[in-house]
């Protein structure tokens, strides 16, 4: 049986939880820069790359991720890059492909400068597309979809 003390605590926690969510409700629909889609990338090779997030209406990207390259056979150190999303844009008039751009910052083996990279045109299929790097043979799976 609930004691009065436990009932008051439950009521207080419930009220606090409801009060905490009320300010979020108007903000969710009133965003001036809503997400219009999502992207994700995963490298299927040694090391790996994992990133993803929203595509915003103003052409900016959200989310982020990491890229890791295994040490070379010669005994070097593993390379780790931080992925910071920048922008996205359609690559043609049919809106069937997009280009995603990111800043990459080397964190390991030694912190280095940041540089920008843009992916080649990625098809917007709503499904997963496999891309193969012609230089290394590395396989990546990319998913880009739009709401709606």
For the chain, 148 residues long, give each residue's pLDDT as a single digit of tens. Answer: 444 333 333 333 333 333 332 333 344 455 688 999 999 888 877 677 888 999 999 999 999 898 887 777 667 788 888 999 999 999 988 888 899 999 999 998 888 889 998 888 888 887 888 877 777 677 778 888 887 6
Same domain as 40, residue 7: no
pTM above 0.75, yes or no: no
Same domain as 19, residue 57: no
- Looking at the 3D structure of the chain, how many domains does it have? 2
How far is the first Cα of the chain from the last one, in angstroms, to the nearest whole number?
49
Residue 86 · residue 118 · CB < 8 Å: no
Same domain as 51, residue 23: no
Beta bridge partners of 144: 39
Same domain as 16, residue 41: no
Same domain as 74, residue 8: no
Instruction: Return the SS3 of 18.
Output: helix
Same domain as 139, residue 66: yes
Domain containing 13 equals 1-30
Same domain as 117, residue 72: yes
Q: 37: which 2 tokens?
A: 């889609």
Count CB atoms within 10 A of the CB of residue 126.
Answer: 10
Q: 93: which 2 tokens?
A: 């008039």
Q: What is the pLDDT of residue 10?
A: 34
Same domain as 130, residue 110: yes
Residues 6+ positions from 145 with CB-CB distance below 8 Å: 37, 38, 124, 125, 126
Same domain as 40, residue 25: no
Same domain as 108, residue 51: yes
Using alpha carbons, select from 22, 59, 54 the residue that is nearest to residue 40: 54
């Amino acid at each position: 049986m609930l004691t009065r003390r436990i009932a008051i605590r439950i009521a207080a926690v419930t009220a606090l939880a409801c009060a905490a969510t009320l300010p979020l409700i108007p903000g969710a629909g009133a965003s001036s820069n809503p997400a219009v889609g999502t992207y994700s990338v995963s490298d299927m090779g040694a090391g790996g790359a994992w990133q993803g997030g929203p595509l915003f209406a103003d052409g900016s990207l959200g989310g982020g991720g990491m890229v890791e390259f295994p040490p070379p056979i010669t005994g070097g150190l593993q390379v780790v890059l931080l992925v910071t999303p920048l922008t996205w844009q359609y690559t043609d008039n049919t809106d069937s492909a997009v280009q995603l751009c990111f800043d990459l910052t080397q964190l390991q083996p030694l912190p280095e400068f940041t540089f920008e990279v843009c992916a080649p045109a990625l098809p917007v299929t709503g499904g997963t597309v496999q891309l193969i790097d012609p230089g290394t043979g590395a396989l990546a799976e990319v998913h880009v979809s739009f709401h709606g």
